[in-house]
């Protein structure tokens, strides 16, 4: 049985709080409690799986390591922490904590297990995300040891069947009215014992290796998207299949554009002269520059839509648009002559309210408001 993502096991989001984590585990632990499901052998495995997930995610340091490196970050056989300790006290109290021991799921009866999935966080520029790209990544992974071919035994030797569990990797322990299946402490769930370990991998059957992969980024990916590379995760144990590599996409902020789905947005500053008299501006797009015609009497906040200049989404739905929001810029660092000209313009404009209809309407509303307060 493949080792699942701990968040998936508990049915929570990756940003779940400690309280949400505890509630999710309490629900599953009570549902799959062994003495409630004595006739269902699968409940025992589900109980252990949920408990293992809770033990890792309820520990801040282990959760951080797991979020960064997946199962490799918390698996002691891979140099990633102390592993599953089976601490149930937080849910059931010390009595149950003493009775139930820890265990690791994910292994078959002969110790074969699927390799852990890996996650690689990839940052992309907006241009790469919109147009697509091919990016090379170099990652450390655990691969099958070349000297022992993944068996963990020295070349020329083979592992022997564990005498305690007879190769099952599990033993059954009875304490009072409880009868529980636990990981065999002698072979640690492998079902086999290596008497003469391989020198290169120290009997682990796997060794760390860095490999370079070419990741094809489809056009239109966005922050939060994941690309799955099947079989590019860590090697399995005892001949088990390898895990997968998940490339997590994070698109960097852009200096000009922001994105919402298939549409792009940008702000276009224009002078008060262009806003009043109209004109033509060059605005940037991801395909190059285009002409944008500014009509007379354009106000701040006016949005111009450039169709087909947005993003083609990965999941389809057509290409989006570029929406340009006009921001009328007030001139700064004026000369004395420029100030005189603006003062003349102001005097001229004040002769008629028709030049500033919104301003006139606003002040009329303010006057009515105050008249209502004093009336």
For position 111, what pLDDT does the model report? 57
- Do the Cβ atoms of 217 and 124 come closer than 8 Å? yes
State the pLDDT at residue 200: 83
Q: What is the largest CA-CA distance in the chain?
A: 104
Compute CA distances 279 → 65, 86, 288, whole Å.
Answer: 56, 71, 20
Percent of the chain with pLDDT over 90: 30
User: Tell me, what's the pLDDT at 153?
Assistant: 86
| pLDDT at 170 (0 to 100) | 82
- The dihedral through the CA atoms of 39, 41, 42, 47 has a sign that is positive
Query: Are 224 and 322 within one domain?
Result: no
Q: Do 144 and 239 share a domain, yes or no? A: yes
Question: 145-204, pLDDT tens digit by residue?
Answer: 888 888 888 888 888 888 888 877 788 877 655 667 778 887 877 788 888 888 888 887
What's the CA gap between 210 and 13, in Å, rounded? Answer: 30
Residues 114 and 241 both lie in one domain: yes
Cβ(243)–Cβ(118) under 8 Å? yes
Asked if 140 and 237 sit in the same domain, the reply is yes
Q: Are both 218 and 329 inside the same structural domain?
A: no
Averaged confidence pLDDT in the chain: 80
Tell which of 62, 82, 106 closes a domain. Answer: 106
210 and 131 share one domain: yes
Q: Which pLDDT does position 215 carry in this prediction?
A: 93
Kindly state whether residues 94 and 112 are assigned to the same domain.
no
Provide the pLDDT for residue 326. 93
More confident residue, 217 or 166: 217
Would you say 96 and 180 are in contact if contact means Cβ atoms under 8 Å apart?
no
Of the pLDDT bands very low, low, confident and very high (cuts 50, 70, 90), residue 100 is very low
| Residues shown for the chain | 375
29 and 46 within one domain = yes
**Residue 89 clears pLDDT 60, i.e. is over it:** no
* Overall domain count for the chain: 3
| Structure tokens that stand for 25 in this block | 């585990």
Q: In this predicted model, which residue has the larger pLDDT, 186 or 352?
A: 186
Per-residue pLDDT tens over the stretch 227-266: 999 999 888 876 778 889 999 999 999 999 999 989 999 9
Question: 34: which DSSP letter?
Answer: G
Q: Are residues 115 and 240 in the same domain?
A: yes
Q: Which of 217, 252, 287 is the last residue of a domain?
A: 252
Predicted local confidence at residue 58, as pLDDT: 87
Q: In the prediction, which pLDDT does 177 show?
A: 57
- Indicate if the pLDDT at residue 26 is higher than 50: yes
Which domain covers residue 95, as residue numbers? 1-106
Question: Has residue 101 got a pLDDT over 50?
Answer: no
Q: Indicate whether 121 belongs to any domain.
A: yes
Nearest 5°: the CA angle 297, 298, 302 is 155
Above 80 in pLDDT, residue 86? Answer: no
Structural domain includes residue 183: no
330 pLDDT higher than 80: yes
Spell out where the chain has E strands: 118-124, 133-144, 160-161, 170-175, 178-183, 192-193, 206-217, 226-229, 245-251, 258-260, 263-271, 279-285, 288-294, 303-306, 322-329
Q: What band does 322 get if pLDDT is binned at 50, 70 and 90?
A: very high
Indicate whether 363 pLDDT > 80.
Answer: no
Banded model confidence at residue 60, pLDDT cuts 50, 70, 90? confident
pLDDT > 70 in the chain, percent: 82
End-to-end CA distance of the chain: 80
Mean pLDDT (whole number) for 19-39: 79
Looking at residue 31, its pLDDT comes to 83
* pLDDT one-digit tens code per residue, 133-143: 999 999 888 88
Where is average pLDDT lowest: 139-143, 240-244, 344-348, 356-360? 356-360
């Amino acid at each position: 049985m493949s080792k699942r993502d701990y968040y998936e096991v508990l049915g929570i989001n990756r940003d779940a709080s400690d309280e949400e984590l505890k509630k999710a585990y309490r629900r599953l632990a009570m549902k799959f409690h062994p003495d409630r499901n004595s006739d269902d052998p699968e409940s025992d495995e589900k109980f252990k799986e949920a408990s293992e997930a809770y033990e890792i995610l309820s520990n801040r340091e282990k959760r951080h390591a797991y979020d960064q490196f997946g199962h490799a970050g918390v698996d002691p056989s891979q140099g990633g922490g102390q592993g599953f300790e089976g601490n149930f006290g937080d849910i059931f109290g010390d009595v149950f904590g003493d009775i139930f021991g820890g265990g690791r799921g994910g292994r078959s009866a002969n110790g074969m297990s699927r390799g852990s999935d890996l996650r690689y966080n990839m940052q992309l520029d907006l241009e790469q995300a919109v147009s697509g790209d091919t990016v090379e990544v170099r990652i450390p992974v655990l691969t099958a040891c070349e000297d022992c071919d993944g068996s963990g035994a020295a070349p020329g030797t083979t592992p022997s069947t564990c005498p305690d569990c007879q190769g099952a990797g599990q033993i059954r322990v009875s304490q009072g009215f409880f009868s529980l299946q636990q990981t065999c402490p002698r072979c640690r769930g492998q079902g086999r014992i290596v008497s003469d370990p391989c020198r290169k991998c120290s009997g682990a059957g796997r060794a760390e290796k860095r490999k370079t992969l070419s990741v094809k980024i489809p056009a239109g990916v966005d922050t939060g998207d994941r690309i799955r590379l099947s079989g590019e995760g860590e090697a399995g144990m005892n001949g088990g299949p390898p895990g997968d590599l998940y490339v997590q996409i994070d698109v960097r902020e852009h200096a000009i554009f922001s994105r919402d789905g298939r549409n792009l947005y940008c702000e276009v500053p224009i002078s008060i002269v262009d806003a009043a008299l109209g004109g033509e501006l060059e605005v940037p797009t991801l395909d190059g520059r285009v002409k944008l015609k500014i009509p007379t009497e354009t106000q701040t906040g006016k949005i111009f839509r450039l169709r087909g200049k947005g993003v083609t989404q990965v999941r389809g739905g057509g290409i989006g648009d570029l929406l340009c929001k006009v921001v009328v810029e007030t001139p700064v660092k004026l000369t004395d002559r420029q100030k005189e000209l603006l003062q003349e313009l102001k005097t001229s404009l004040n002769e008629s309210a028709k030049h500033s209809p919104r301003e006139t309407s606003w002040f009329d509303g303010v006057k009515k408001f105050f008249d209502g307060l004093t009336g």
